[in-house]
């Protein structure tokens, strides 16, 4: 019996994973990786930390956990996989089942026959629509060579940097450059940072934090051009002025590399990426595709979604490796789970945001909950802010966003698990999570958020977000803002407005008569646990127009007086 000929086009994440998995399942298969570059299986997500200096050499991005370099020799000796690097896959002849290739170094053309073909062609950085993007000193960050170029620019004495795009890469590289002593300006066309991941009220806390670390943030700003002197970048020109920079990072997104697939007549999905089924087969059952070149299915909505992530690419690789060797593994879709670090802030998002629900017409309810990441009395406690989103009719958990110096990642992971199994907020609050003071509070903050939504669904809790309260202040609405913190807290820091009345929670029952019954009363405290209690106390006293401000002053993204 002839061996199964498996050809993989693309040697970064999904491709090598598929090849390695296929080899473990079929020791006799002929497996070939075709890669246009020189470097294989590199950890692209580690590049900002290489720029920062946390990782000493670029080679560390291509090493196994045991210290072996994942180069062509490694794949040949350890995986028995033949690697054709610096080789371009020019076209696919589906009738003859061959890949037509050309050597980038010699120009020599050849053909590689296949029984099963894997497309792992990845994504390319979006080319900006403004002039000057090809000047010296303007970078993208899609390859270790890009990271090395940025490090050289920093070492050569660059003092000012501009980052175009306040997404994931923009946030991580901003920290890397500030750590190296550069003055950094982040320019974002949309009104808030990481707009694809976070709702504006959550993103505002991240923006405030990076500004406190010395980053200049220009949101709602459109880049018009990049200027240079003698072909070297000197400034970014925006609709709000000139930003001086000797180093510019363009990080406005990526687009799937689908030319090979289009030329081969394979079906492209509505997102512009390659359409695949649950087995990660393309419209040609002999050709599979995975990684950043394919679209996925959103596990909540069932709709196509394009979310290029290294974690997804590796999971694709395992499924493909199974299926090109006779298996029938399914890829169930994605939740768009993303976590990252911005200075000493941790940031995460999974599932649907409030903005997503609005766009897709999904009835929803949210909870905005700040609090400690572990027992409030434990010495290493740090704050986090969570925004939980659930379906209005059923309480089904739809999404979570989290920011803060505390541990947000484990809350994101718990939420991802809950969403994957269709849990509702009561299921979430009933989970038997691990508790000890160094790790969490007795009732974890994520479960507090679930309880807030449950209280809303049963009609007990009535609330406004800080953004809604600020909007009502700005338009001059007539209502009472009732601060129920202690006198000491009030004197240390306060929301100064003519609507604010201060009555400590412990005095509220005896002083309730001081409050008007014909105006709406919005209660708040530091995190609004006492604000919620105040709402219930006043309702018990016969007040009918009462709500609390979610998250209290800890979630207030605007300046406060001290």
Enzyme catalytic residues: 45
**What is the token pair recorded at 454?**
């449950």
H helix intervals, 482-542: 487-492, 508-511, 529-540
In angstroms, the CA 181 to CA 175 distance is: 10
Let me know: does 233 contact 137? Beta carbons within 8 Å: yes
Instruction: Give the separation between CA 215 and CA 162, rounded to whole angstroms.
Output: 10
Phi/psi of residue 519, each to 5°?
-115, 155
Which residue from 456, 429, 454, 426 is spatially nearest to 442, judged by alpha carbons? 429
Task: Look up tokens 């923006």; give the residue.
Answer: 207
Contact between residue 406 and residue 425 where contact means Cβ atoms under 8 Å apart: no
Distance of alpha carbon 422 from alpha carbon 435, whole angstroms: 24
Q: CA dist 417 to 351, 397, 420, 434, 445, Å?
A: 11, 10, 5, 15, 16
* CA atoms of 286 and 301, how far apart (whole Å): 29
Question: Greatest CA span in the chain, whole angstroms?
Answer: 91
Question: What is the number of H-type helices and E-type strands within the chain?
Answer: 16, 30
- Backbone dihedral region of 292: left (phi > 0), alpha (psi from -120 to 50 degrees) or beta? alpha
Find how far residue 396's CA is from the centre of its chain. Answer: 22
The number of beta carbons lying within 10 Å of the beta carbon of residue 222 is 12
Backbone angles phi, psi at 442, to 5 degrees: -60, -40
């Amino acid at each position: 019996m002839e061996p199964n000929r498996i050809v993989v086009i693309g040697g970064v994440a999904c491709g090598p994973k598929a090849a390695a998995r296929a080899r473990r399942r079929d020791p006799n298969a002929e497996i070939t990786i075709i890669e246009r570059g020189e470097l294989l299986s590199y950890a692209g997500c580690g590049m900002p930390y290489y720029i920062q200096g946390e990782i000493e050499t670029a080679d560390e991005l291509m090493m196994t956990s045991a210290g072996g370099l994942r180069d062509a020799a490694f794949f040949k000796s350890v995986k028995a996989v033949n690697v054709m690097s610096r080789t371009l896959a020019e076209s696919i002849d589906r009738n003859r089942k061959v890949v037509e290739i050309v050597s980038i170094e010699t120009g020599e053309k050849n053909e590689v026959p296949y029984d099963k073909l894997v497309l792992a062609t990845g994504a390319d950085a979006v080319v900006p629509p403004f002039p000057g993007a090809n000047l010296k000193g303007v970078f993208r960050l899609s390859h270790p060579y890009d990271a090395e170029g940025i490090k050289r620019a920093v070492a050569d004495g660059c003092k000012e940097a501009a980052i175009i795009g306040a997404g994931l890469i923009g946030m991580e590289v901003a920290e890397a450059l500030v750590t190296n002593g550069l003055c950094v300006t982040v320019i974002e066309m949309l009104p808030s940072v990481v707009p694809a991941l976070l709702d504006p009220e959550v993103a505002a806390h991240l923006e405030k934090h990076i500004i406190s670390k010395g980053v200049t943030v220009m949101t709602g700003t459109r880049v018009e051009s990049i200027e240079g002197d003698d072909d070297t970048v000197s400034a970014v020109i925006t609709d709000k002025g000139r930003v001086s920079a000797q180093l510019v990072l363009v990080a406005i997104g990526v687009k799937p590399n689908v030319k090979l697939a289009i030329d081969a007549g394979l079906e492209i999905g509505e997102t512009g990426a390659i359409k695949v089924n649950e087995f990660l087969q393309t419209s040609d059952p002999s050709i599979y595709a995975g990684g950043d070149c394919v679209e996925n299915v959103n596990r909540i909505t069932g709709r196509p979604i394009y979310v290029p992530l290294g974690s997804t690419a590796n999971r694709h690789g395992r499924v493909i490796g199974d299926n090109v060797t006779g298996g029938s593994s399914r890829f169930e879709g994605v939740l768009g789970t993303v976590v990252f670090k911005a200075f000493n802030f941790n940031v995460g998002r999974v599932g649907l945001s409030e903005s997503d629900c609005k766009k897709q017409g999904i009835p929803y309810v949210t909870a905005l909950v700040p609090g400690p990441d572990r027992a409030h009395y434990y010495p290493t406690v740090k704050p986090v802010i969570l925004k939980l989103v659930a379906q209005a009719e059923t309480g089904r958990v739809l999404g979570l966003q989290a920011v803060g110096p505390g541990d947000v990642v484990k809350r994101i992971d718990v939420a991802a698990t809950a969403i994957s199994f269709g849990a509702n907020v009561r299921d979430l609050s009933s989970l038997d999570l691990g508790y000890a003071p160094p790790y969490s509070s007795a009732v974890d903050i994520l479960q507090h958020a679930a309880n807030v939504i449950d209280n809303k669904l049963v009609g007990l809790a009535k609330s406004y977000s800080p953004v809604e309260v600020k909007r009502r202040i700005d338009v001059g609405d007539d209502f009472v803002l009732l601060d129920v913190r202690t006198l000491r807290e009030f004197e240390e820091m306060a929301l100064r407005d003519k609507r604010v009345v201060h009555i400590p929670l412990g005095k509220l029952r005896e002083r309730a008569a001081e409050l008007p019954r014909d105006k709406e009363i919005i209660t708040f405290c530091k995190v609004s646990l006492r604000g919620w209690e105040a709402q219930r106390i006043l309702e018990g006293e016969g007040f009918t127009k009462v709500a609390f401000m979610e998250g209290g002053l800890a979630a207030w993204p605007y300046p406060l007086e001290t």
